[in-house]
Structure formats: structure tokens, C-alpha cells
Chain A
Amino acid sequence: MRTIFFLKYYFYVFLAYCKFLYSYVIYKFADYPDEIKVAALISATCVLAIVILSLSMLWRSRVEKKKAKQLERIDRKYGEGMKYILSSEATELLSEKEIERIFGIDRDELDGPLLKNDREKRMFVDTFYTYFVSQRSEHSRTENTHTMLQMFGIPEFLEKDVSLGSMKHKADALGKMRMFKLPISLWVINKLLNCRYMRVQRLAMYSNVMSSSDSALDYFETDFFDNNCCIKDEIELGFSLQRRRKMGLKLPNLARWAQIQKNEKTQCMFVRLMRRFDEVEYCGELKVLYKESKKKKLREEISRTWGYLHYVESEDLLIDALLTEPDDTKVAIMHALTRLDTGKSLDALLDGFKNTTNPHVRFEALRCIYNYGDAGRALFYELERNCSEADQKYFTFFNNPITLEKIRLDKEQAYHPSVETVFNG
């Protein structure tokens, strides 16, 4: 109250000073030409702005110092406990009593909640979040994190921020809740889905994808992304689907979503996600998309996906397409055929090598032949023996121990539920 009074007082003093300054300038330069008056007024404004900026900087550094002190206090008090809970040592399920003991809290001495106000809660959750994203062990238990957060009243605080805070606070709180795997009420999410801020809207959608039942996943039944899809969306969506799988929930039909979307980038994103989540079940549905689509990048992604997911039924379609597709897609098809490894595609790969002048495609074809089992390796050595002088450079590259690393087929790791670290799940 006292601070507000003083602030108000200083504000009025400042206003009076401004008024005096402008009156003085106008009075002093009343007889001068207009351009001099303008120059004097600009100078006066600049002087005032310099004063305001200096005061603002001083005020800000004071506030930040205070904040840093508070953060330090929270860190000193709870930091060690937080680190312990996030470390690999705390693999057992901890009770509230044990967590209290870790933090050195004595309930009898307390006459109120552990964290007194929202500011303390914000500091606490910020400190914990920093440790969570930087020091968390993959063996630490989510249940312990939840118990600890519940004890300090953090879920309610974050949910309040999500529903009542500013857009920045909403986005921050949503992001944190998702990271901590805290459930968010469906009504809150539904409210945010109509939000006009794209970031908040999408975060809400990703949170829902992570935790809701199958029936609720109908965002992509329409053209949700509408040309506004970026790599981060794929990262975030992958992150949510990974969590969903870990929770034992079934993944949605990504092939269907790919069919519904109109934008090529979004379609490719869903096809890639299918590949990374080993969604073999819906591979067949991509056949229609492959045949009908005129989008080269999409066909490239579908070919790759079939290869990675070992969808053998697509082999004939891919061999036929190898003759007609452009170079980039050709390379993807050859890699897919190599991964399918049925023993039927060696001739197609050899044709891929012979029927092109593009050095990149030729190199990739050789790479696929080299990796196509024993028969492929034998063919490779035969080609090496009979190669022309111009082709010699490809084989030199293969024979070097340092560049041999490049020759192996690219490995794309799938998001298996058992692999915690693949996606920082």
C-alpha cells in the first residue's frame, strides 16, 4: 500500500515536471521559427525519454535482483530434494512422508500451506522445471514427481494459470503440465481450442492428443493445420504420441489423417509419424494415397515408410514406380526396396544404377546394392571389377574406412514405448 502511494506520488511529480518542461520550451522558443520550435520539442521529448529509460532500467535491475534472491532461496531450500527426486537413485515409489523428509519439512511446525503465495509457487515450479528438463534421469519415476507437485499444490496453480492467466502464462503453464505429464481437465482444453492464439491452441490440442480417449481425437478430421505446419509441430505431436503410447493408449489412425489433410507438408508429417511409431497396421491405406497423389515429396515419404515398416505388399508397386519417378523419389524407392530385402529387387536396383546419368542416384543405387544381402554384395564386387574409369570414383569412396560409415543405410529410430530416451519421454 505504501509502495503504491509513493509510486503515485512520484508519478504526479514526474507529470508536473514534464508539464513544466514543455511549457518552458514553448515559452522560451515562442519567437523562433517553426523548425527551431520542432527541434526544441524533440530535444525535450528525448530528454524525458532518457530519464524514463534510465529509471526503468534501474527499476528492472532491482526487481530482477529481488527475483534472483527469491529463486536462490527456493533453490537452497528445495533444490537438493528436487534433484534427488529426479535422479536415478529415487527409483522406488515415495510416499508424501518420505518426500517431506527429503525436503526437511516438519508439518507440525508449519501453520499453513508449504508455499505461501502464487509468487512462491511460480518460483518453485520454475526451479523444478529447470531441473526437470536438464537433470532428470530416465530412471526417475513420474509418480514421485506427481506426489511432490501435489504436496506443494502445483497442479492447481498451473491449471489456474492455464484457465485465467495471460497468453504467455497460459502457454508456459500448458507446456509445463505436458512435460510433467499432469492431466488437464477436458473443459479447460476445449476452451483453449477456440483460442485465437495459435500457439496456445496447438499446445492444448497436443495435450489432448497425449491423454484423451480415441473418440476425442478428431482435430485432423478437418484440415487443421491449413498450410501452417512446421517442424516443431511434428516434434510436439511426436512427443505427445510417444507419451500416449507409454500410457498404454492406442494411437490414432495416422494414415487416415494423412489422407484427409490437403497440404503436402502436413500429409508428409503424418506419414513420417506413422513410420516412426511403427504403425504397420494402416500401411495398406497409404496405397490409395500413393497411386492418386501427384505430390512427389509425399510419394517419397510413403515409399520410405513402406521400406522402414517392412510392408512387403508394396514391393511390386515400388518396382513399377522406379521406372517413372523423378530422381529424389527414385532414391527413396531404392532404399525402401533394400529394406524390404525380399531378394526380388536386385535387378530393379541394377536398372536403377544403369538407367541414369545422375551421379547421386548412381551412388545411392550402388549403396543399396552393397547393402542388399549376400547377393547384392556379390553383384557390387562384380560391378567394381568391370567398372569404367568414370565410375571408379564411386568404388574408391566405398573402399575408404572413414567414408564407409556413409555407405550404411540411414538409420531412423522408431519411437518404441520401451525406449524412454528416444524422444525424451
Chain B
Amino acid sequence: MTLPIYCADDWLMIRSLGPDQVTGLAQAAQAQGWEDVVPGLDSLSLSWNPAERSLETARAVAEALVAQGNAAPAEDALPPITLHICYDAVWAHDAEIVAELLGIATDVLPHWHAAQDWRVAMLGFQPGFGYLVCDAHIPEIPRLSDPRAHVARGSVGLLGQICGLYPHAGPGGWPIIGRIAETLFDPHAASPALLTPGQKVRFERVDGPTLSRLTGEPA
């Protein structure tokens, strides 16, 4: 049997949570003095310093958090965000494969993608990398069998239910369907990550010249 709370020696993980539960519990956990509060797609992990908190106390605090029930995320604290996305073929390397797996025409993919109700589930993989989810049932889309050596910063990938946003240029294994103009992570900014778990995301389609203007890169 899999226990609802996994416990290591300095972190624990609350399992089998719905997206709203992850966000709600993560918000409630911020006030509990954990070292790190890390949302996952269906879990929430909490870590502590054993010099400051005992394993027994940590477990009890986490159990109390879960017992509070399905704390709903405070939506007002998280205004929705609009991301400007260009679906031009020059950025959408894998649009054809993805559209085929979704059973739609390639030229319909942008409309389909922008029409979903996306929200941020978690950040992971690289600083500021966003994992977005939506309620629509989306067939599995596998990772590329041969990861790309270079994807542009702002690239938008799709792995079935999960839409991933690359903050930095670099290697990447997600099928890519477009590119956004926004900077997702700036370590020197007061608020380094653009996205916050629980936040709703709207994609606004822009053309190539607009993307260049917004990113300040030559077209």
C-alpha cells in the first residue's frame, strides 16, 4: 500500500493531490516555516532542517496541513497572465507531429492550443521552467526520441496534458509548437520567476514581426 505521505529524513511529500489541492496546500504551507515548499504535478513536497525541526514535528505539521482539507487556492492573489505566442513554422518545429497525434490539421493547432484553459501546475527542470496543465483530455504525446541540441528561449512544448515553457535556450526533448515573447526567469529581478503555481495562463497569438518587436531580437 502506498501511504499518502512519504517521509524521508528531511523532507516529505503529500501524494495523490489534484491541481487545486497542490496550489491550496502550497499556499497554506508557506506560513508553516518549511525550508522549501515544492509543488509537483500531483504532489506537494516540504523540506526542513533537522537541526531546527524534528522528523516527528514535521510529520505532525504536514498531517495537520492535510487535515485542514482541500484548502482552495486564493485566486485573487494570482492574477491571470497573458503570454504572447508566435506559432510560425520557424518556431513550431514539431507542429505537424503534434497535430497528427491530436487528430487535427496543423493549421488548426494554434487555435486549439490558445483556446485551452491553461494554468501553471509547477515550476521544475530549470529555473523558471513552467509546467502548465488544462482540463481537456489530450492524448499522450511522447518526448522526442532524439532530443534537440538547441531550442530557443521561450519555446513552448507539448507533452499531452502538459504544456512546458522553456525559460532559457538549450537542449530540449519536448515537441515544440511555438515560442513566447516573455522572459520567464530573471535572477536579478525582484520577483525572478514570471509564473506562479496556480496562476491561469492565456496565450495571445502574435505574428513573427510582433514577436521580434517584443523580444527585441531581429526577425
Bind each other: no
**B residues at A contact (CB < 8 Å):** none
